[in-house]
Amino acid sequence: MRIGELAARGGTTARAVRYYESLGLLPGRRSGNGYRTYDEDDLRLLRQIRTLQDFGFGLEETRPFVECLRAGHPEGDSCPASLAVYRRKLGELDALIGELTAVRAQVADQLARAERARDELAAEAGVPGGPEPECELGGRAT
């Protein structure tokens, strides 16, 4: 098949396929007229790349999987190097999730504190006159 069909069946674009080829992830075989030509095995390579991409892997991280498939193994993760990438990624994900969770808590704290401060000011000013905590410049042009 040609690049358009490969891309469509792999759920991506011809441009991306050429890019993967430029990185050495996909082969660049040509048929007589100069068009790139692919077979079902190439489609498996592409699908392996896309799956890992969807997981948030960088393209370089997909290389061990692709080379594993190219070496004739049944799955991209049949090789130790691929398993190592999985494990490293798990660690990175855990670290990232941990950081994000901590940030989330801090932001929630800030929000709660700011809302409390706002309400206190509102109550304080609400007893005498009108509150309306305007902030954006030029509330209503008088």
Partner DNA sequence: CGTTGCCTTGACGCCGACGTCAAGGCATAC
Partner DNA sequence: GTATGCCTTGACGTCGGCGTCAAGGCAACG
Q: How many residues does the chain have?
A: 142
- Rounded to whole angstroms, the Cα distance separating 16 from 133 reads 51
Tokens of 59: 């393209």
* One of 33, 71, 128, 129 touching a second copy (CB under 8 A): 71
Residue 96 sits in the site that holds a second copy (CB under 8 A): yes
Tokens of 49: 């790349």
Closest to 18 in 3D by CA, of 42, 36, 32, 1: 36
Least distance in angstroms from the C-beta of 107 to a second copy: 6
Residue 77 sits in the site that holds a second copy (CB under 8 A): yes
Q: How far is CA 117 from CA 113, 114, 125, in A?
A: 6, 5, 12
* One of 26, 36, 48, 64 touching DNA (CB under 7 A): 36
- Residue ranges binding a second copy (CB under 8 A): 55-56, 67-68, 71, 73, 75, 77-83, 86-87, 89-90, 93-94, 96-97, 100-101, 103-104, 106-108, 110-111, 114-115, 117-118, 133, 135-137
